[in-house]
Amino acid sequence: MSHIGMVIPKSATSLLFELHFALIFALYLTERHYYYMRAGLIIAFLILLTSSLFAQHIHGVPAVDTVAGKKDLVPFSITLPPRPMPRIIIKPKEKAKNVLAFPFVVHSLETNWGFGGIAARFFKPMKDTSVRTSDVNILGLYTLRRQLILVASSTIFFAKEDQLARFQASYSYYPDDFWGLGNHTPYANEEGFSQKQYFINPQFLQRIRKKLYFGVTYEFQHTGPISYTPGGLFDQENITGRYGGNTSGIGPILSWDTRNSAYSPDHGFFAELTYVWFPTFLGSDFKFRVFNADIRKFIKLSSKSVLALQGIAGLTLGNSPFRKLEELGGADMMRGYYGGRFTDKCLQAYQAEYRRLLFWRIGMVAFASTGEVAHMPGQFELNGWHYAYGGGVRFMLSKEEKLNLRLDYGVARHSNAFTVQLREAF
């Protein structure tokens, strides 16, 4: 299944993968031997501190967020790799379970020093040890800039994985940047703003045939008024949603997944289509619809090399508020561009990545991408494509699940950026 969406804060989203890495690395050591628990947590804590230092300004350009995605979804979710935990199952009939809880400290240009804590429980429901491990997570973060983030998330796999439930909820207050709407906004237009928001997103999917799943998603988001410079871009372009409001929508999800790994596949195909309708009778202050498509193909070139391809598209129809618009840029697609560098109602983007295992657990990648946004589908331009390219290094945390820690360097027009993440970009 795809890893569904992320929210707002740019530097806050980078924390997601630091926490992913810390939890999974600690749990990995725990699986090897119970008494390694404390060592694993200490190592994860140190990595959590150091990894945030990769975010930096390059030639005066703001640091790029380490998680690409729309601003309407939650920036944190902690998913355990789908591997059994035999050391934790004391009796065959008992549920596999484990609890991790620890404090953390982070620092970035956007947050200054931040202090928080996280607790996560891992388990196998229905006493079925053949399914992937489920998880429930709670996180809190407070920074010296008086920023606050509270997040709860969960992924539940039911018996035989015939059903899957996902849940995300968050509260956040965070600064961000905006360059105006359109595909040709000047870099000099950059304007800072901040906004509070609450978000909730439950999903449920049912297997209908082999690798084909069909389900339903519901989204609710409350946003406060945007704090921005009066007379600036938000007023000049009459941005819908700048005074805040509620969005409430429901719609179907259709997913097909033949990949041999959810983290770093070497062959297979993945496609997911989502459609969300936001009518006023569900409590939405804005009446609009959102359609998104994500298609990926993985081609095994040799025992150590893979060609990965991806295409995404987004279409927003109706009176869509600012936080529901399509965004180009980020650390998953168009690496090198700031997340949301180009924003409008329609988006299309494509990327190719060559991945190669060099030796032991060390690998490398080279990637290139192109994309553009438009106000309407018929307004995409042949000369409107933006381009980005780069390379990166991989360290395989889990050989069994092919779970990689990645360090990428992306190059784009007016901006270059390092990103550090758990998992591949796609």
pLDDT digits (tens, 9 = 90+) for 28-52: 444 444 444 444 444 444 444 444 3
Report yes or no on 3 lying in a domain. no
The closest alpha carbon to 324, from 291, 294, 349, 295, belongs to 291
**Tokens matching residue 87:** 């050391």
What whole-number distance in Å separates Cα of residue 266 and Cα of residue 288?
A: 38
What whole-number distance in Å separates Cα of residue 346 and Cα of residue 376?
A: 6
| Number of domain units in the chain | 1
Measure the CA angle with vertex 419, ends 140 and 308; round to 5°: 115
What is the average pLDDT score of the chain?
78
The closest alpha carbon to 317, from 294, 281, 292, belongs to 292
| Cβ-contact 285, 221 below 8 angstroms | no
Q: What is the bridge-based pairing of β-strands 386-398 and 97-108?
A: unpaired
Number of other residues whose CB lies within 10 A of the CB of residue 306: 21
Handedness of CA 188, 375, 290, 275 (dihedral sign): negative
Domain containing 120: what range? 10-422
Report yes or no on 327 lying in a domain. yes
In the predicted structure, residue 68 carries a pLDDT above the cut 60:
no
CATH number, residue 85: 2.40.160.50
Report yes or no on 2 lying in a domain. no
Report yes or no on 290 lying in a domain. yes
Percent over 70 (pLDDT), the chain: 74
Report yes or no on 76 lying in a domain. yes
Placement of tokens 């998880």 in the chain: 135
pLDDT digits (tens, 9 = 90+) for 270-328: 999 999 999 999 999 999 999 999 999 999 999 999 999 999 999 999 999 999 999 99
What whole-number distance in Å separates Cα of residue 153 and Cα of residue 3?
A: 12
Q: Can you tell me whether residue 258 is helix, strand or coil?
A: coil
Report yes or no on 166 lying in a domain. yes
The closest alpha carbon to 217, from 42, 14, 1, belongs to 1
Residue ranges of E strands in 224-267: 245-257
Report yes or no on 389 lying in a domain. yes
**Tokens matching residue 131:** 């399914």
Least reliable range by pLDDT among 122-126, 155-159, 168-172, 411-415? 122-126
Report yes or no on 4 lying in a domain. no
Is the overall model pTM greater than 0.85, yes or no? Answer: no
Handedness of CA 230, 233, 239, 242 (dihedral sign): negative
Percent over 90 (pLDDT), the chain: 50
